[in-house]
Structure 1
């Protein structure tokens, strides 16, 4: 009986993110309600600092990130959105072509995630990975998908974007 509770509690973060995603995706475009949030906004510049390394969690989160810069209200701003994503921590394993660390179900999620990143790159999103994180997580830089640009220190990138006026969004 205790094992069943443990199983349920391990799934709570996944269930939470899935529920948030489903709610956000069900909001009709006309009911977005960004009048207050985007009042007077000309630039939509954001840097996402991502360390979340669960393949089942990152996919719904990244679909919401993609939706944020594709939202009609954002597209209607005076300037095109500038989006950067800086990866560090466990997520760097999901950027690699090395499939050894993943079981079959996880590998399917990793491949979906990488496909989303490839589309984001085509959309003009800047994608960077921290070399310190690669080294710390034992990921060979040569295996990182080509859409991701390695940087020596991801924190320097995040701070640099912030100093340029980008809003920082953390996804731990």
Structure 2
């Protein structure tokens, strides 16, 4: 009959060995540096309109950080980023200085607000759909600073595409 304690000890030893091997492998030669040279070849400016339709505060905060990182990454690759973020859908409820009682307790709200400020400071333009704010009960006068209220976020996204901006849907 197998004894559980030695079996658990063997499993722990095996996991420790795999963890040590993984750590050693990651401490080896420097990780490769990736770039977007093929996509950015010959480009001076990268124009993107991010249509953001996310209804979860934590996920919204995470994706706004990704957009910020993309902006920085493009600039590091010597292409001037020209980004516009257009917010539509239920996530607009997280983009106000006076959130409703049902979302006010979310710890991600501060993260969202801080990242919106970082985007604004980086020169990324942001717009919020007034159709969505009306649907979600958000007072347009209380939208986070740096976000412009527009009539219709879909129309805005279409207009930017007509101006040569690449559409990046973020759901």
For Structure 1 versus Structure 2, the TM-score category normalised by the shorter chain is 0.7 to 0.9
So what's the TM-score if we normalise by structure 1?
0.75
**Are the equivalent residues in 1 in contact too, given 2:129–2:152 (CA < 8 A)?**
yes
Q: Does 1:84 align with 2:91?
A: no
Q: Report the 3-state secondary structure (helix = DSSP H, G, I; strand = E; otherwise coil) of the residue aligned with 1:31.
A: coil
Q: After superposition, what is the alpha-carbon deviation per residue over 1:121-157, rounded to whole angstroms, capped at 9, x for unaligned?
A: 1111111001111111121112211211001111121
So what's the TM-score if we normalise by structure 2?
0.75
Q: After superposition, what is the alpha-carbon deviation per residue over 1:49-80, rounded to whole angstroms, capped at 9, x for unaligned?
A: 01102011112211111111101x533435x2
From 37, 40, 45, the equivalent of 1:38 is 40
Q: Give the 4+ runs in structure 1 shifted more than 4 A.
A: none
Shift of 1:167: 0.8
Partner of 2:3: none
Shift of 1:120: 0.7
Partner of 1:119: 118
Q: After superposition, what is the alpha-carbon deviation per residue over 1:3-59, rounded to whole angstroms, capped at 9, x for unaligned?
A: xxxxxxxxxxxxxxxxxxxxxxxxx89622322222222221111001102011112
Q: Does 1:165 align with 2:164?
A: yes
Measure the CA separation in 2 of the matches of 1:111 and 1:33.
32
* Runs of at least 5 residues in structure 1 that lack an aligned partner in the other structure: 1-27
**Are the equivalent residues in 1 in contact too, given 2:53–2:91 (CA < 8 A)?**
yes
* Runs of at least 5 residues in structure 2 that lack an aligned partner in the other structure: 1-29
Partner of 2:94: 94
Alignment coverage as a number of residue pairs? 141
Shift of 1:103: 5.4
Aligned Cα RMSD in Å? 1.9
